[in-house]
């Protein structure tokens, strides 16, 4: 039976793959619209093991079944079209959409998203 840590790692990896596929699609749309594309796609991640697996450097002993799914991400990293960067958990602005935040933490996350309070 898998522990919660292993389940979370799988969820992080699958989310990374879906995020990258979406980002590549957006970049292809920009290219078709002849909008400038500057540098690689940058994906911010707060999980070092996910970054290492995505870059092809992490151990995949317990994640072998995910190798085909993450191969796309690894190829883009290897080709220089994708860069995975570490960002501390409290700086992930999307967390306000998926995790409960209160007080200052909520206000900081809302400010990152540039959402004005409703008065």
> Which range is least confidently modeled, 17-21, 23-27, 51-55, 76-80?
51-55
Task: Report which secondary-structure segment, H or E, holds 86.
Answer: strand 82-86
Running DSSP on this structure, what letter comes out for residue 46?
S
What is residue 60's predicted lDDT score, i.e. its pLDDT?
Answer: 58
What is residue 65's predicted lDDT score, i.e. its pLDDT?
Answer: 77
- Average pLDDT of 13-31? 93
Q: Where are the domains of the chain?
A: 4-87
What are the phi and psi torsion angles at 110 (to 5°)? -65, -40
Question: Which has more pLDDT, 110 or 48?
Answer: 48
Q: How confident is the model at residue 105 (pLDDT cuts 50, 70, 90)?
A: confident
Residue 1, pLDDT above cutoff 60 = no
Residue 61, pLDDT above cutoff 50 = yes
Q: Which residues pair with 43 in a beta bridge?
A: 84
For 58, residues 6+ apart whose C-beta sits below 8 A from its C-beta are 49, 51, 52
Question: Which has more pLDDT, 38 or 62?
Answer: 38
Task: Tell me the whole-structure pTM to 2 decimals.
Answer: 0.75
């Amino acid at each position: 039976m898998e522990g919660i840590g292993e389940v979370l790692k799988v969820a992080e990896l699958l989310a990374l793959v879906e995020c990258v596929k979406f980002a590549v699609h957006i970049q292809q749309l920009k290219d078709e619209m002849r909008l400038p594309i500057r540098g690689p796609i940058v994906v911010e991640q707060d999980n070092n093991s996910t970054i290492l697996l995505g870059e092809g450097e992490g151990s995949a002993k317990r994640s072998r079944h995910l190798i085909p799914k993450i191969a796309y991400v690894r190829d883009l990293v290897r080709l220089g079209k994708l860069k995975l960067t570490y960002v501390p958990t409290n700086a992930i602005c999307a967390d306000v959409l998926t995790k409960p935040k209160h007080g200052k933490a909520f206000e900081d996350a809302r400010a990152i998203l540039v959402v004005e309070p409703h008065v």
